[in-house]
Amino acid sequence: MTFQSILFRNVEASINDDTNEAPAFFSDLNLDQIIDAITSGKQEYNLKPYYYTPLHDAETIYYRHEVMRDMEEPGIMTTIKALAEKMIVVRRYLGLVEKLDFNHHKNGWFLEAALVYCEAVTDLAGNLSRVNLKSRGLLAFRQYVTQYIQSRRFRSLHTEAHEVKGILADVRYCVLIQTGKFKVRKYDGETDYSVEIEATFEKFKQGAVKDYLARPSEGSGMNHIEAQILDFVARLYPEQFAALERFSEQYSNFLDETLRIFDREIQFYIAYLEFAAAIRRKGLTFCYPLVSGTNREVYASETFDLALARALLYRDQPIICNDFHLKEPERIIVVSGPNQGGKTTFARMLGQLHYLASLGCPVPGREAQLFLFDQIFTHFERAEDISNLRGKLQDDLVRIRKILDHATPDSILILNEIFASTTLRDAVFLSKEIIARVMELDMLCVWVTFIDELSSLSEKTISMVSTVVPENPALRTFKIIRQPADGLAYALSIAKKHRLTYEQIKERLSS
Amino acid sequence: MKVFLMYPDRDFEPGQELPSNVETLKQDLELNTLFTAMAQGNEFLFTVAEQALFTSLDSPEEIRYRQEILKDCLRHPDVVRQIYRIPIQAIENKKKHWMGILTNYPTGILSGAREMLEMFVDLLRTLKQIADEHAGGFESSGFRRFFAMIQQELDDVYFALVSKHLKTLKFRSGVLISGELGRGNEGTNYVLRKANPKDQNWVKQVIGRRSPVYSYTLHPRDDHGARALGELRDRGLNLVANAVAQSADHINSFFNALRLELAFYIGCLNLYEQLTQLGEPISFPKPLDAGRRQLSFVGLYDVTLALTMKQKVGGNDVNADHKDLVIITGANQGGKTTFLRSLGLAQLMMQCGMFVPAESYSANLCNRLFTHYKREEDATMTSGKLDEELSRMSFIVEQLAPNSMVLFNESFAATNEREGSEIARQITCALLEKRIQVFFVTHLYEFAHNLYERKMKNALFLRAERKADGERTFKIIEGEPLQTSYGLDVYHEIFEKDREIQEIGRQNEGPN
């Protein structure tokens, strides 16, 4: 088989590079933070289009899982990263060539680019032959590389680049610098004066002393004096510079297109795994989820909000993991309980999991089975929008209407405290109306709400609640557990703490 | 060129890590008084004295090496102080004229360092002159080696060579550098070259092998070009500037080493002069291997007491050869603590090569010295105090090795005598079995008496002398432990009663 893409099984399903806009639900689910973190430091690869494009077929997702698992092997990761690092250098040198002014200088850097490229490809082929690959993607890629390095095109590039470098490296010249002028000629065996000075004072050596070497800036520039010297040197050694000129013309386009694309696409995996590694250091786990576009049983254990985990990465604060499980015919998780208890985080997490799974990435958690959605819809209450209540309610309903119009049974819906700013009676009524439609669509849904009754409307809904520490109700556990909603439990425990329960007040008042 | 006046074969390293119990030793042995006398107000001398005293030498040979040098110093104090002024001068000149080499440009580094070298070379000439004049009068192998080295390494030929280089380094006729083509054909590996002699070029010119020469003259207003050429010059000079600056640093280090190593002896000279003024004797001790057990001295006095009192103080004579344990008992204010301190001080002074405050002194080396003194603070919290004492003891035990020496001063008295004695006894016996030398000043009669009764061959019992009329002589003499609490019948009675009551109480509790 021929190698085409490390991201897709067949090339027809490739990605439009212009997909530079994040899906609408990104900011509600904090996926924007996650993807920004993953792709930060890798801007030159323009990876976001890959992360903005969910997959809808399980086979491609498993194709990526295979590659991702291979990439989790340190030996393989090292091999690919070595390629990437060298390719960065190649691109930087080629970019330099475009910007430089003097011909011998341009040709010089072009040769360096070719040399690094040859080394990168040769090393890659060697390293790949030593690693144990399992994924279809990387196996095909290895085959491609093996053929490529044996090609005449690559072999002659390799040989000539080294030959030209060799003859240039032998060039030696002398510059005599005087005030306002200089002379250039060939080197003629003159002795090293620094060595003589060092030898003279050798006897005083007393162990380590300060290093006074100036570090000339490594910027690859050439001023007109250096250019003039190089010009003189080229006149002193005409054949050597002619060979360089011929090389530059002949190999002007040496970079292989397939390799170039691979170098970019594979960064999708590297970026994700590097990000996951940082999270794993906090003791959290990732797993490769089972995905299905038909089976609506979804579950995950010990999973967490990846954006939150990232935010708490360098803080001494544990990340609380949660579980969920929807079995037939359950479709809707109604999350209620005390505020600031992790309800919104839980809702986001469920959305994140499904989205990350649709990219073919490992997801937070010990194990997971997730649904291959066609679309994700979110509606999060935004506190700052409450200037015009009536207008806002209208807005909300318009948006929900739109969602319900576009949603299919394969969509996922995440609602967070909608109708919070309307009257309770309205909120209950509207919520019941909406949830009925959601149930009718049979879509997966997480609904964060203060309206308890929603959780027991039908066999399609389950109730999960945020919890508190029984001894100190003011402390949240950030655990969301499956149990019947009971808004009073929390209020009662707080009251008890302040000795304000019914019994307590009676007792206190009786004295 | 190495100074090697502290060790026959290595430098004296300043800033070495000192033993963990330095602060305790300073406090218990009044060492700051000693350092202050050696330093005479000079902070540097103080630090060096401290460093030297706490980095004990391991072998009698090393000690004798320093003793010989110190004897030379005592014989020629003026010459030694004259040599000591040379590095001081170097440091002062440097401070005055070079606030450190501040520039980062090789050209600037080179010119600053070249001038500093000139200054150093002048001082080296002075050192050479002193060596030529006085070397003959010195007897120690250390000084003889030092002077011989100066005379050999710094001969006239060498000074001539250095002068020539210092002139060349001004680069009056331009800077010649060679280069290679690095990445991107950018010049690299710039190496400063010495122009080939003219005649060789002439031969090559005749046979036609000489390279063509291309010249370029900058436009007078080409500032950018002049700067670029200056940068190139800097690159060429980079290594040599580094070499010259490092050479200056090395000579500077040599001066620093000379100052450092002589500072120890200057400190000893200072101390010697003060003790001589007080009429106190000193002697060079006879060091013996750490495995041996020898300690005998005549007229050993507490040097810090003499320095503090500014008068001659009484000394003690003891022969504790073949003893692992010395127990010192006797009345308060009888000179026990002073005696113990004089032992510790003499041990440390001997082990860094100094003379000792005694008419004669001979002792085995110890691999480390520890002190465990009763601490006055925390007097109110008796139970906490024993706890504190034992935790300090535990810290010492962590670091002990065979042939260490521990000086106890009224340790473990923070509880009743029986318990204190039992603790002291258990600790002491364990230490002795582990080949630790123990010196124990104690009031714990049960402890001292118990050990005395055993008639151990390797134990010596000393006592602060008290005449029949109760007068204290501050002399420490040989003698068995005496019960100091005689006459306190009432106290004793109550103490026993208390104990009985406690005993009964304990028995009653027992079966439960």
Q: What is the mean pLDDT of residues B460-480?
A: 81
Q: What CATH number is associated with residue B451? A: 3.40.50.300
The per-residue pLDDT for range A24-52, each reduced to its tens digit, is 999 999 999 999 999 999 999 999 999 99
DSSP-assigned letters across all residues of A358-408: HTT--EESSEEEEE--S-EEEEE--GGGTTSHHHHHHHHHHHHHHHHHH--
B381, B263: one domain: no
B124, B256: one domain: yes
Residues in chain B within 8 Å Cβ distance of A182: 215-216, 229, 232
Q: Do B177 and A212 touch (CB under 8 A)?
A: no
Interchain CB contact of A172 with B (< 8 Å) = yes
The DSSP symbol for B356 reads B
B451-471 in b/e form (b: 16+ CB < 10 A) is bbeeeeeebbbbbbbbeeeee
Sheet of A172-178: strand order equals: A191-192, B187-194, B175-181, A172-178, A181-186, B214-217
Cα–Cα distance measured from residue A270 to residue A267, given in angstroms and rounded to the nearest whole number: 5
* Residue spans per domain, chain A: 55-168+253-268, 284-510
**Which of A100, A164, A206, A231 best tests the B interface by mutation, with the highest count of B CBs <10 A?**
A206
On the question of pLDDT at A230 being above 90, the answer is yes
Q: Which domain holds residue B114?
A: 22-171+247-278
Residues in chain B within 8 Å Cβ distance of A181: 215-218
Number of inter-chain CB pairs under 8 A, A vs B: 215
Q: Of B162, B181, B212, which is closest to A200 when you measure between CB atoms?
A: B162
Cα–Cα distance measured from residue A165 to residue A118, given in angstroms and rounded to the nearest whole number: 13
The per-residue pLDDT for range B152-172, each reduced to its tens digit, is 999 999 999 999 999 989 998
Q: Of B106, B186, B232, which is closest to A108 when you measure between CB atoms?
A: B186
Q: Do B194 and A200 touch (CB under 8 A)?
A: no
Cα angle vertex B334, ends B328, B339, to 5°? 55
Q: What is the mean pLDDT of residues A255-269?
A: 95
Q: Do B192 and A192 touch (CB under 8 A)?
A: yes
pTM score of the predicted model = 0.60
The DSSP symbol for A234 reads H
Q: Of B1, B179, B233, which is closest to A203 when you measure between CB atoms?
A: B1
Measuring CA to CA, which residue among A190, A199, A185, A178 is closest to residue B197?
A190
- What is the number of domains present in chain B? 2
The answer to whether the CB of A366 falls within 8 A of the CB of A302 is yes
Q: What is the pLDDT of residue B414?
A: 61
On the question of pLDDT at A246 being above 60, the answer is yes
Residue B110 belongs to a domain? yes
The per-residue pLDDT for range A159-197, each reduced to its tens digit, is 999 999 999 999 999 999 998 999 999 999 999 998 888
How long, in residues, is chain B?
512
B326, B273: one domain: no
Q: What is the mean pLDDT of residues B40-61?
A: 95
Residue B4 belongs to a domain? no
Q: Of B212, B226, B236, which is closest to A185 when you measure between CB atoms?
A: B212
Cα–Cα distance measured from residue B490 to residue B492, given in angstroms and rounded to the nearest whole number: 5
Q: What's the start-to-end Cα distance of chain B, in Å?
A: 79
Q: How far is CA A128 from the centre of its chain?
A: 24
B40, B147: one domain: yes
B358, B270: one domain: no
Question: What is the distance in angstroms between the Cα of A205 and the nearest Cα belonging to chain B?
Answer: 5
Residue B161 belongs to a domain? yes
Q: What is the mean pLDDT of residues B351-372?
A: 96
Q: Of A93, A173, A198, which is closest to B179 when you measure between CB atoms?
A: A173
Q: Of A107, A176, A204, which is closest to B251 when you measure between CB atoms?
A: A204
Q: Of B196, B212, B213, which is closest to A190 when you measure between CB atoms?
A: B196
The answer to whether the CB of B355 falls within 8 A of the CB of B283 is yes
Query: In whole numbers, what is the pLDDT of chain A averaged over residues?
Result: 87
Which of 413-472 (A) contact B at CB < 8 A? none
B439, B466: one domain: yes
B53, B155: one domain: yes
Q: Nearest residue on chain B to A208, judged by CA atoms?
A: B250
On the question of pLDDT at A66 being above 90, the answer is yes
B256, B362: one domain: no
Interchain CB contact of A183 with B (< 8 Å) = yes
DSSP-assigned letters across all residues of A298-357: EEEEEE--HHHHHHTTTSS-PPPPEEEEE-TT--EEEEESSTTSSHHHHHHHHHHHHHHH
The per-residue pLDDT for range B66-94, each reduced to its tens digit, is 999 999 999 999 999 999 999 999 999 98
Residues in chain A within 8 Å Cβ distance of B180: 169, 171-173
Pick the CATH number of A284-510 from 3.40.50.300, 1.10.1060.10, 3.50.50.60, 3.40.50.1970: 3.40.50.300
Q: What is the mean pLDDT of residues B234-247?
A: 88
Cα–Cα distance measured from residue B131 to residue B1, given in angstroms and rounded to the nearest whole number: 15
Q: CA-CA distances (angstroms) from residue B259 to B86, B90, B253?
A: 8, 10, 10
Interchain CB contact of A208 with B (< 8 Å) = no
B265, B301: one domain: no
Q: Nearest residue on chain A to B212, judged by CA atoms?
A: A185
Q: Do A180 and B220 touch (CB under 8 A)?
A: yes
Q: Of A96, A105, A198, which is closest to B243 when you measure between CB atoms?
A: A198
Which of 149-208 (B) contact A at CB < 8 A? 153, 161-162, 165, 169, 173-181, 183-187, 191-196, 201, 204
Residue B401 belongs to a domain? yes
Residue B149 belongs to a domain? yes
Q: Of A104, A180, A203, which is closest to B218 when you measure between CB atoms?
A: A180
The per-residue pLDDT for range A199-218, each reduced to its tens digit, is 888 888 777 778 888 876 65
Cα–Cα distance measured from residue B339 to residue B463, given in angstroms and rounded to the nearest whole number: 11
Question: What is the distance in angstroms between the Cα of B183 and the nearest Cα belonging to chain A?
Answer: 6
Residue B125 belongs to a domain? yes
Residue B370 belongs to a domain? yes
Q: What is the pLDDT of residue A425?
A: 65
Q: Do A197 and B254 touch (CB under 8 A)?
A: no
Q: What is the mean pLDDT of residues A52-68?
A: 95
Which of 262-291 (A) contact B at CB < 8 A? none
Interchain CB contact of B261 with A (< 8 Å) = no
**Which of A102, A111, A182, A183 best tests the B interface by mutation, with the highest count of B CBs <10 A?**
A182
B154, B94: one domain: yes
Q: Nearest residue on chain A to B120, judged by CA atoms?
A: A204
B460, B321: one domain: yes
Q: Do A209 and B250 touch (CB under 8 A)?
A: yes
Q: What is the pLDDT of residue A497?
A: 53
B294, B339: one domain: yes
Question: What is the distance in angstroms between the Cα of A185 and the nearest Cα belonging to chain B?
Answer: 5
Q: CA-CA distances (angstroms) from residue B95 to B100, B103, B105, B121, B243?
A: 8, 16, 21, 17, 21
